[in-house]
Structure 1
Amino acid sequence: MDTLTKTVAERGDLAHLALFLWASGASTLLAWSLRELSTANRRFNDFVKEIAALNQLFQRRDK
């Protein structure tokens, strides 16, 4: 019975380690994705602001 308990305990620790590594990797990937999405959103917002400024410039020019 002692060897059976030892085997289960060793495999359990390995499973917990694998689960921790998977969860850490998934969390890191999520954080990286959100950071990249935020950066892309900021760049798109800057682009839209520049287009709006250009449109205002052309509207003032036509008047």
Structure 2
Amino acid sequence: MDDLTRAFAERGDLAHLALFLWAMGASALLVVALREYAAAMRRFDDFVRELARFNKKFGGR
């Protein structure tokens, strides 16, 4: 990583390096957020399924 940073610094492309690091961080944050969203949807689906099973067992509509 140090060689990569040095190469960018020697060529004067620090702005490009900063933009690249920002994009990678934003992409990683998006992946984490989507993973958490999918897990929340699975938990909600399980809840609704159990609620429907409860209603079926005890005569609810």
TM-score, normalization by structure 2: 0.78
TM-score, normalization by structure 1: 0.76
2:24 aligned partner? 24
Q: Which has the higher contact order (CA 8 A, sep 6+)?
A: 2
CA distance in 2, matches of 1:20, 1:42: 33
1:1-63 matched pairs, under 5 angstroms: 9-10=11-12, 13-59=13-59
What are structure 2's unaligned runs of at least 5 residues? Answer: 1-10
CA distance in 1, matches of 2:49, 2:55: 10
RMSD over aligned CA atoms reads 1.3
TM-superposed CA distance for 1:28, in Å, is 0.3
TM-superposed CA distance for 1:20, in Å, is 0.2
Amino acid at match of 2:45: N
Q: Which has the larger radius of gyration?
A: 1
What are structure 1's unaligned runs of at least 5 residues? Answer: 1-8
Give the count of matched residue pairs: 50
Q: Which runs of 4+ in 1 moved over 2 A?
A: none
